[in-house]
Amino acid sequence: MSFAPLNDLQRLGSVLVLALATLLATDTAQAQLPQTRLQSVFPPGGQIGSTVELTVAGADIDEVNAMSFSHPGITAVQKTTEANGKKTPVANTFVVKIDGKVPAGFYDVRISGLFGTSNPRTFAVSSRKHLRESEANNAFTEADEMELGSTLAGQIGAAADVDYLKFTGKQGQRVIIDCQAVRIDTQLNAVVEVYRHTGNRVQRLAFGRRQIGHDPLADVTLPADGEYIVRIFDERYSGGGTYGYLLTAHTGPHIDYVQPAAGEPGKTGTFTLFGRNLTGGQPSGVRIDGRELQRLVVKIAVPKTGLDRTIGGRVEAVSAGLDAFEYSLKTDSGVSNPVPIYFTSGATAVEAEPNNTAEKAQKIQVPGEVTGQFQSRGDEDVFEFAAKAGDAYWLEVFSQRIGAPADPYLIVDQVQVDKEGKETAPKRLTAQDDNGANLFGNHFDTLTDDPVYKFTAPAEGKYRITVRDRNFEARGSARMVYRLAIRKETRDFRVVVVPTSQNTGANSNTAVSFGVGLRKGDHFVVRALAFRRDGFNGEIEITAEGLPKGVICKGTTIGAGQTSAPLVFSASEDAPELTAVVKLVAKARVEDLAKVKIVTDAGNALTAAVAAVPKAAAAIVAATGPAKKALDARTVAEKKYNAENTVSTAAAKLKATADKKVVDTKKAAAAAGTAAAAAKKKSTAAAKALADAQAAAKKAADDAAKKKAAAAVKAATTAKAAADKAAADTAKTATTTKKAADDAAKAKTAADKKATDTANLTKASKSVLDKADAASKAAQAKLVAAQKAKTDADKKVVQTTAALAAAKTARDAAARQVTHIARTGTIVIDGNQNQTAVSRLSQSLVVSVMKEKAPFQAQTNIFRVDANRNRQILVPVKLAKRDGFDNKVTLTFVGQPKNIQVQNKPINKGKNSEVLRIFLPANAPLGTYALYLRSQGEVAYRRNVFRVERVKAEQTKVTATLKPAADALKAATAVKVKADKLAADTAKAAEAAKKAAAAAAKKLTDAQAAAKKAADDAAKKKAAAAVKAATEAKAKADKLAADTKKAADTAAAAKVKSDATAKQATDKDKAAKAAKAAADKAVTAANNAAKAKKVNSFPASTPIVISIRNNPATLKADVPGKGALKRGAKIDVKVTVTRANGFTGPVTLSLPLPPGVADVSAKAVTIPADKTAGVLAISAGPKATEGALANMVVRATMQYDGREALVDQPVTIKVAK
């Protein structure tokens, strides 16, 4: 296949996208105090046992002078050059030694400089030979040569850059081209292509793009001996200094994936490797990108724990909560790439095809785990297991988080059968897609495509799980591996701590790669993230261990149900400059949920029981009045009834007497009437007898008869008289008795009426009494019932209190303390509102303290507060100001939950303290929350004033050399002038003496010649005298010549010396002047660089951890006169307490004074347990603070739930003179 170049418009678009991204990334770093940030190292790797020269690039890397690694066997020193015996550091360049015992793997590298220690970047160590690309490898004909089995470090140095590499291979070799880019923290999304020349054509043999995450892997079997070319470029045709790569071409082993993907801790398991060039491997029948993989069965010892994820491959943010260990296959042809093997809590299995339908569902045991693949388009896997009613399991699918490209979808069905046991349509229990929990959006993105679901079997029977890719109808590949875990609930957690930029609030989308770099007297906030497992929602405490001198970390709490909390590191103002690795420990109490529910239920029962007590007491109070009233009414009714009953009884007695008298008198009258009638009859008979006697007497004829008749008349008369008298008496008696009977009848009528009337009154009062008695009995019964209910309620409180205590004891006994070492995250590529940051786990948390002091620092002594609802918390803040800073600093609370009332305030210019207020209202959410104050102030920042100090000191030092140099030059010049003159004079004299000596020698020669020619003695004598004179003259001239020459030589030597001294003095003078000019220039440059610039600083305060508990009461305060209070006076504030949430005890009222308020007081007042109100007398002394007093509250103190509880009620107090 021929190569087709990328369209120019596409390249331009890619370049513009890159430029925009770079601009946005740059913007995020503006307007804040500098921190050392490492953006790239080159080369990004090295060979075990070798020495490598590394060049670094980044932001704020002023005076970087140290490099450190996460393995002690990798060391570095700054490169230096030497001139004139002086060593000069080479900026941003280090010589790195990799010890021969360092294992192959990825390690964190950091740099340290003026602005602290940087964020980490990845440095890859391997056993392979490492090479570097040349600068001219941008065409097929310019390809860099590399050996098979070696690794080449390169960069796509600019937009649209393309690199070409070449190697020589033999026919049949299976060559793996592995390009590490994203894995080693670069921005390169590489594409690799493998070519060969065939005649005049270029044939593409292999193509790699995003086979290993975002990194490419190409696999080619060489068709012939010869030269092969690798082409590498960015998929967007971007480029730059952060677009580095490590490309390895080798014939060694490469593992694509492992089945099963997880193992049981502490056991040796059987695993099948799928990959390429696996020594001893067999064809697997599995193809990826058209290339068949081999399979190799191996035994692997699984460690007991996988908590340490610091060695080996890159761990993306989304996978940071998983536990794994690294495995590499070691063969004679080399060591494979490391692959993660995860941990499972149950037996492992591997998916067995065909299992795409319910009829062919694969039977699995639970708890357990299955490793599967979506091997082809349309593939979906069905698994079946049995469960009993109430069985609970967590079902979780892992794919994206284990580095596979699948987007799994989870379906759970309950198998349904009819009466005959035949299967019918299943019942869908759930269908789960992505897990939407994102712990730190845009910064450390944990949003995952992997689903998780808590399954509870509704009935005994069979259940089926269907797993498929979200886009299964359109794609499938053997790379789409997944783990299906079905486990019993084991609630747990992992914590990851992520440093980031300090100029962001809680919800900021700006994510910048930072190390924890502290200025002296500074705070640095990082974010602690909680990866919660299997429904664990408890609090997590985080503390720091191994803190160096001068560095403080108070710790923090991730509250129940929360996903993150701020963690703040602080440096004291006298902290030394340092770089240290800090260990963070996360602890939590994991409780038995069933026992927690029992405690909750017991607490609710106690609350209800306690709440019933005042109701029962109120019922007694409510029943007592009516009962007394009813009893009083009954007493009145009874008294009235008794009185009326007495009267009616007497009337009844009178009636009975009257009735008897009526009867008696009637009987007597009847008897008297009868007697009167009888008497009258007798009288009539006597009258008749008398008449008869008289008549007989008249008829008596004889005396005897007359006498007898007279006697008879007499007797009849007597009898008649007696009968008349008896008749009269009986008639009288009858009249009397009749009258008595009539009177008795009348009296009876009156007595009957009275008896009836009084009886009716008595009956009515008896009815009233009966009703009053019934009402009294009913009211008394209610009172007794209320009293019994109160007794029962008191008893219930005792019982539920004991039950709650027992439940808490059982809960505490069942709870387990879990401790984990917190992991550390790092932002690799910055993010913003339009682009999520690229993040990963780092291998340690490194804290540094730089030389520079923080311009200001917000300090508060409030750290942990255990508070009830309806509580005021005052936060005093002191502002430490340094180096002349005196601008306004705004203070903003960050991290508070909803409903909590916070008061954001500035500390204005000229002030150094302020009091901020937090109030926890009745609807504040219960739990623990970590807040902090985000301060912001504009600083006139001078960058690297230490450089100014250094160069000024050097300038002073150099300036001090100018005068001595000038003086030395002047002295040397004067000496030189004298020496020059003396040399010239002596040279001239020597020359003259030399000439005189020559002349004397000539004269001597001439005299000697004349002497030889002298013929006579006189001539000879004269000639001899001339010779002698000439000889003496020559000797004198020679001596003078010798003396002057010696003097000239001495003067010449002195001149040479003075010349040298003068030159040296001149050179020193020039050097001093040059050094002064250089020092002046350096001072100017340093001053220019250190010119004050307006920079925003955003340091955090230390955290404020508030645990919010239920309030045992609420208060109402009636403040008279709207709180107006004169000095020397007092006001009585009636405070009403309403007890709540099971609280029944006494309450003590007080008046706490906030900062800034003086000479206002109130004596504490206790409201007994059976009372609801008290009066707090508030007094103002003669020096009482005037005006409306801020943050005044009436405080109630009580013992509740085993601890002191405080409840506040804000009040208005205005003090006047």
Mean pLDDT by 10 residues, the chain (1217 residues): 35 41 41 90 97 97 96 97 89 98 95 97 96 90 95 96 96 98 96 93 95 94 97 96 97 97 95 97 96 97 71 83 94 94 93 95 96 96 97 97 96 95 95 91 93 97 97 95 96 95 65 94 96 96 96 97 96 97 96 91 87 85 90 90 89 85 82 78 78 76 75 78 80 82 85 87 88 90 90 90 91 94 95 89 96 96 96 97 95 94 96 97 97 94 92 93 91 91 90 89 87 84 86 88 90 90 91 91 93 92 96 96 95 95 92 96 95 96 96 96 94 95
CA distance 689 to 122: 171
Tell whether 759 and 633 lie within a shared domain.
yes
Tell whether 378 and 465 lie within a shared domain.
yes
Tell whether 1085 and 1135 lie within a shared domain.
no
Tell whether 358 and 375 lie within a shared domain.
yes
Tell me what pLDDT residue 11 has: 38
**Cβ–Cβ < 8 Å for 862, 872:** no
Which amino acid, one-letter code, is at 43?
A: P
Tell me what pLDDT residue 3 has: 33
The enclosing domain of 555 has a CATH number of 2.60.40.10
Tell whether 376 and 466 lie within a shared domain.
yes
Q: Do strands 423-432 and 408-417 pair parallel, antiparallel, or not at all (unpaired)?
A: antiparallel
Tell whether 451 and 433 lie within a shared domain.
yes
CA distance 1152 to 1165: 13
Tell me what pLDDT residue 294 has: 98
In a domain, 875, yes or no: no
**Rg of the chain taking only CA atoms, in angstroms:** 60
Tell whether 763 and 654 lie within a shared domain.
yes
Q: Which residue has the tokens 């001093």?
A: 1072
In a domain, 1078, yes or no: yes
The kind and range of the H/E element at 855 are: none
| Residue 1149 CA from chain centroid, whole number | 36
Tell me what pLDDT residue 1165 has: 96
In a domain, 50, yes or no: no
Residue in 554, 560, 570, 564 with CA at minimum distance from that of residue 864: 554
- Domain edge (last residue) among 425, 459, 489: 489
Tell me what pLDDT residue 19 has: 43
Tell whether 424 and 311 lie within a shared domain.
yes
Q: Is the peptide bond before 367 cis (omega within 30 degrees of 0)?
A: yes
In a domain, 779, yes or no: yes
Tell whether 339 and 484 lie within a shared domain.
yes
**Cβ–Cβ < 8 Å for 153, 132:** yes
Tell me what pLDDT residue 5 has: 36
CA distance 37 to 502: 13
The enclosing domain of 989 has a CATH number of 1.10.287.620
**842 CB-side CA count, 13 A:** 32
- As to burial, measured by CB atoms within 10 angstroms (0-12 exposed, 13-18 middle, 19+ buried), residue 615 is middle
pTM, 2 dp: 0.84
DSSP-derived secondary structure letter, 99: -
The enclosing domain of 317 has a CATH number of 2.60.120.380
Beta sheet of 1130-1139, edge-to-edge order: 1113-1118, 1130-1139, 1173-1180, 1160-1162
**1087 CB-side CA count, 13 A:** 8
**Cβ–Cβ < 8 Å for 583, 544:** yes
Tokens of 80: 């230096």
Tell whether 341 and 298 lie within a shared domain.
yes
- Domain edge (last residue) among 780, 803, 826: 803
In a domain, 418, yes or no: yes
Tell me what pLDDT residue 6 has: 35
Tell whether 381 and 516 lie within a shared domain.
no
Tell me what pLDDT residue 312 has: 57
Tell me what pLDDT residue 310 has: 44
Tell me what pLDDT residue 30 has: 42
**Cβ–Cβ < 8 Å for 350, 259:** yes
The residue range of the domain holding 736 is 605-803
In a domain, 16, yes or no: no
In a domain, 19, yes or no: no
- Domain edge (last residue) among 428, 460, 489: 489
Q: How many domains does the chain have?
A: 6
Per-residue CA distances from 530 to 320, 509, 697 (Å) = 10, 19, 158
For residue 646, the SS3 value is helix
Residue in 580, 584, 550 with CA at minimum distance from that of residue 567: 584
Tell me what pLDDT residue 754 has: 85
DSSP assignment of 681-749: HHHHHHHHHHHHHHHHHHH--SHHHHHHHHHHHHHHHHHHHHHHHHHHHHHHHHHHHHHHHHHHHHHHH
Residue in 913, 943, 939, 946 with CA at minimum distance from that of residue 856: 939
Tell whether 1129 and 1194 lie within a shared domain.
yes
In a domain, 2, yes or no: no
Tell me what pLDDT residue 26 has: 41
